[in-house]
Amino acid sequence: MNLTGKNVLLTSNGDEVSFNLALNLCKTGCRLVLAGNGSDFSSSAERLKNYVNGSIVGVAELDMSSTESVVDEAIHKAWRSLGHIDALVNCYAYEGNVTPPLDVKEDELDKIIRLNLKGTWLVCKAVGKRMRDNAIGGSFILLTTIIGGERGLYPGASAYGACLAGVNHLARALAMELGKYKIRVNAVARGLHDSDAFLQTFSEDKKEKSVKDIVPLQRWLDVKNDLTSIVLYLVADDSSFMTGTVIYIDGGQSIVRPRMRSYM
């Protein structure tokens, strides 16, 4: 798919999922501004510059836990760098530690909510206002995981899962309200990969054995390849009639989740 000329803002905390999506967006001709903060994000941005030449238009400092005015200013700088934004790919996430719900501290709960739900809301609002005011429309792609779905209930992820469920609902609600501005909003609920916090509680042996029970396709998500096609499609004009959908890219994990207790 050739996306030459598409301007994309991608938010990231420096994880491998967002790194590979950014890399593949650049390879298809997109002009990209990366937004995020912290050492992992900075390292990821530097790595990308070694793979692509000229497609990374800028790197914006974006603290997803900050106030609305700070987030809005970061989006303003990204918009100005690109000239306009055709698509927002929101990958920023904070999973936190795997913790039983009765043991989650209030400050940790606040952080999970601010980074995953409130931060996503503020970024969508800032980008959406500019798309509306410039009458150009666009596409929001909000990356979540199956942990935010009703069949993605994993122990120790109640706060994170609740926020992702909120983001899934936000995608549908924004799609309903922003369609009149030609702004499309979809969420992509990915399956787990072997570096996710929940799977890090497994031994390597258990991880290898349990994947056959957890995933019908009998492998974890490939962060380099499995999400690229759907994100490129949602950025492209080919998906111009698609909005308000939560798309599961999970190898069938969400189908078999009710069997969890039989193998945990």
Residue 1 lies in a domain: no
Residue 141 lies in a domain: yes
Structural domain span for residue 88: 7-263
CB burial of residue 88 (10 Å; 0-12, 13-18, 19+): buried
pLDDT of residue 35: 97
The tokens describing 68, both together, are: 């609305």
pLDDT of residue 264: 42
Rounded Cα distance between 215 and 257, Å, is 9
Continuous H helices in 57-105? 68-82
Query: What's the pTM?
Result: 0.94
| Spatial contact of 215 and 191, defined as CB atoms under 8 Å apart | yes
Of 204, 176, 199, 193, nearest in space to 19 by CA: 193
DSSP one-letter code for 56: E
Q: Is the dihedral of CA 82, 83, 88, 90 positive or negative?
A: positive
pLDDT of residue 257: 60
Residue 158 belongs to domain with CATH number: 3.40.50.720
Residue 17 lies in a domain: yes
pLDDT of residue 202: 74
pLDDT tens string, the chain, 264 residues long: the values are 789 999 999 999 999 999 999 999 999 999 999 999 999 999 999 999 888 877 888 999 999 999 999 999 999 999 999 999 999 999 999 999 999 999 999 999 999 999 999 999 999 999 999 999 999 999 999 999 999 998 788 889 999 999 999 999 999 999 999 999 999 999 999 998 887 777 777 777 887 787 888 889 999 999 999 999 999 999 999 999 999 999 999 999 888 765 444 444
Beta bridge partners of 11: 35, 90
Residue 103 lies in a domain: yes
pLDDT of residue 213: 80
Give the neighbor-by-neighbor strand order of the sheet with 31-36.
Answer: 56-61, 31-36, 7-11, 87-90, 138-145, 183-190, 246-249
Long-range contacts of 100-107 (CB under 8 A, 24+ apart): 100/155, 100/156, 101/158, 101/159, 104/158, 104/159
Residue 2 lies in a domain: no
Rounded Cα distance between 220 and 222, Å, is 6
Q: How many domains does the chain fold into? A: 1
Measured distance between the N- and C-terminal CA atoms of the chain, rounded to whole angstroms:
41
